[in-house]
Structures are given as structure tokens and as C-alpha cells.
Structure 1
Amino acid sequence: MSRSRPSSHAPRIQQRTLKVAVISPDPALGEGDADHQRQAQRCAALVQGLLDAGDEVVAVLPASPDLDERIAAAAPDLIIVDAESGVRDLLEHVVLASRDTPRPIVLFTDDDDTVTAQLAIAAGVTAYIVDGLKPNRVKPVIEVALARFEREQGLRAELSEARLQLSERKLVERAKGIVMQRQGCSEEQAFGRMRKLAMHRGLKLAEVAQRILDAAGLI
């Protein structure tokens, strides 16, 4: 009786298809000169690398004053900034456009200035890649940037939740002190009464605490 052998090939992990917006310097600023031609070739290579990797390029945009509206209309999953130089001016438009809707931002540039790189990361750039714009490197860089962005967003959410819990705990402690003072009860009794009221009215304990503090402020 023959036995079927397990496949020697590991199952492939299907990569997600991303909607990408590419931001490049405004061609009108250098139309016809050598710098423009080189930038156009860089941008074309980048777009081709994205398409070859199976991603969708939803827009190729210049850093114009209405960039935020155009990015919002394109609704990309990720933004790639391609700039040989002049990173700071270009980056300002992109960061402002992503202020209300955070997205991963990958920047490909030839500008290896350390200060510029630090400013870019501080402004919200997820990955600052110097002299690395090669079609076969685009997808790996994006995957690493996505993983980093998701991790940072998770940490921010955890920090926000921790701050909220601390704020609510302070509210409860203050309200509990008022209940103890007004009703002449112990800390445990005050907490029990607040919790019972919260359950009876279908409120969070912090909401009950805030109402107690509001009422105390009116007296």
C-alpha cells in the first residue's frame, strides 16, 4: 500500500495588494532639463516596481497645495515619496496631507543628510531609504514599513488606552471621596454605591463619577 508523501514545498503566504499613491516633485518645476528627465525615470521605475509586485498605483501626484484633497480622493493604503533632493519642502506637503488620516509613508531619496533623515522620521515618515530605489527592493521595503507602522499604531493605541484608564481612575477616586464625605460612609461602601448606580443606569463607573463631580460643583 503506497503512502502519499507530504509536499516538500511550504505553502506560499499570499501578499496583500496595496493601493499606493506616489508623490514626486512637480514636473513643471524642471520640465525639459536633465534633473527632470532623471526624476521622471526614477518615478517610472518606482511605479513599474509596484505594478510588478502586484500593487495598485492609485495616483502619481506632485506636491501641490491641494495634495491633501487629492490624497483623500485616492484613499491609498500607503504613500511613497520619491525625491532625489529637496526632501524637506516635498515632505512638508505630504505630512500635512496625512495628518488627519495616518498612513505609512516611505521616502526614497538620494539625500543622505542625517539631520534631514531625523526630521523626516520625527515628522511621521515610516521608512527613509537612501539610494535604494531599485524595482526589486520596493516590495520588501514596503512590507517592513507596513509592519513598523502597524506596530507603532498599536503602541499608540495602547498608550492612549492607558492614559484613558488613568484619567477615569482619578475621576472615580475623586467622586468616591465626595460620596464618603456627603454620606458619611467608608471607602468600600462609597465604591459599592457608585458601582450599583452605574449598573442600575447602564453607565460606566467613570460616567457616574463624572456626574457626581458635576453635581458637587453645582452645590
Structure 2
Amino acid sequence: MTVVVVEEDRDRAIAVVDAIKDTAECDVYVIGNSSALARKIAAHDPDIVLIDIDNPTRDMLEELTLASGPLERPVAMFVSGPAGGLAQTAIEAGVSAYVVDGLAPDRIKPVMDTAIARFRMVRQIRNELAETRRALEERKVIDRAKGLLMKAKGIDEDAAYALLRKTAMDQGRRVPDVAEALVTASGLLG
């Protein structure tokens, strides 16, 4: 596992790296300056990012949104105290764990585990949502294609679907792809 730690204080960075290496076998890289954060994080392509900062700014969270690109890796942010409405902004930027009261070495492993678990859960939900949206769009196209066939050939819905399915099998294509081609062709002819 590759971990990137964003920590400006050198002594704290050393303590964090030591704590991480004590709890898990991994490669740890420290970024000591948060300017151009997205580029620096991307250069290491980490499995998780730990950010320890006293008071996160909106600019830093925008950089983080770019760095999490969007939401391609878990990010745990440790802040020293409540930062107004920035917790919500941090979560929207892709932070998987937002921990107030700073980064304590003995809490690193449980927070990392939680951030990774939450990230995986959110990613699974996003993938399921994308798949559901794709299936719904395909269903809409198939329904439009069936309607075109029913009107053009004077057949019922079951016969229209059977024709789409037979054409798809004959051409070695998926039914939604054949339906899309029919709807597109109809649009060009209409």
C-alpha cells in the first residue's frame, strides 16, 4: 500500500510516518507544502492520502477535489479544531474521514481503515448508481425502438421486442445497441 501524508511540520511528519510504518507495511511519502497538492499527490498515485492541517482553506479543498479526481482514492483529513462549515465542503471534495483534534499517532490505523472502508462503500454505491442509470437509459432506447417498430410494421410490443432481439443475435450485437441504431436512423429519416 502507498500512503501520502500531507504535513507541513517536519517533526510531526516524522512521527506520523513512524506510526504508519509501525501499524502497516507500506510505502509512505510526505508532502510538506500544500501548494499544487493535486499534482504532488497524483505523482505518487497513493492508495490513501492523510492530510494533517490546522485550518483547511477552501483553496486547499478545491485542490483536494482535483487530487481526489473525483473520488479515486480515500482521503483522511485531520484538523485541529472545528472549521465552520468546512467539514461538509471537505466531504463534498472527496474526504472519506474528517477527524477533529488533529492527527494522533495511535489513531492513524483505525482512521485509515475507516477511510478505506467508507471510500469503498461510497465507490460501490456510485458504481451501482451509474449501472442503474445506464440500464434505465438503455430501457428508454429499447422502448423507443419498440414504438418505432410497432408503428412502422403494425406489430405488438412483444413482436417488436422479439424482432429487436433476433436482429441483435443475427448481428452479434446487444439489444440496446441495435435499438440505439434504429432510433438514430429513424431520427435521420424523420
Normalised by the length of structure 1, the TM-score is 0.80
Match among 44, 54, 59 for residue 74 of structure 1: 44
**Are the equivalent residues in 1 in contact too, given 2:81–2:102 (CA < 8 A)?**
no
In the other structure, the counterpart of 1:109 is 79
The C-alpha deviation readout for 1:127-153, integer Å capped at 9, x for no partner, is 011114221210011101111110000
In the other structure, the counterpart of 1:19 is 2
Q: Tell me if 1:47 matches 2:17.
A: yes
- Higher CA-based Rg: 1
Superposition deviation, residue 161 in structure 1: 0.5
Superposition deviation, residue 100 in structure 1: 4.8
Q: Matched residues in 2 for 1:90 and 1:214: separation?
A: 45
Report the residue type matching 1:144 in the other structure. T
Q: Tell me if 1:163 matches 2:133.
A: yes
Inter-CA distance 69–113: structure 2 relative to 1 (3 Å threshold) = closer
Q: Tell me if 1:64 matches 2:35.
A: yes
More deviation in 72-81 or 87-96? 87-96
Superposition deviation, residue 87 in structure 1: 4.1
**Are the equivalent residues in 2 in contact too, given 1:19–1:55 (CA < 8 A)?**
no
> Sequence identity, in percent?
40
* Stretches of 4+ aligned residues off by more than 4 angstroms: none
Report the residue type matching 2:5 in the other structure. V
Report the residue type matching 1:151 in the other structure. M
The C-alpha deviation readout for 1:158-182, integer Å capped at 9, x for no partner, is 0111111110000000000101111
In the other structure, the counterpart of 2:58 is 88
In the other structure, the counterpart of 1:197 is 167
Q: Which runs of 5+ in 1 are unaligned?
A: 1-17, 26-38
Q: Matched residues in 2 for 1:104 and 1:194: separation?
A: 43
**Are the equivalent residues in 2 in contact too, given 1:22–1:80 (CA < 8 A)?**
yes
CA RMSD between the two structures: 1.7
In the other structure, the counterpart of 1:34 is none
Report the residue type matching 1:63 in the other structure. S
Q: Which runs of 5+ in 2 are unaligned?
A: none
In the other structure, the counterpart of 1:122 is 92
Q: What SS does the aligned partner of 1:64 have? A: coil
**Are the equivalent residues in 1 in contact too, given 2:55–2:83 (CA < 8 A)?**
no
The C-alpha deviation readout for 1:56-100, integer Å capped at 9, x for no partner, is 2442112122x3333222111001111122443333222212215
Normalised by the length of structure 2, the TM-score is 0.91
Q: Matched residues in 2 for 1:88 and 1:49: separation?
A: 29
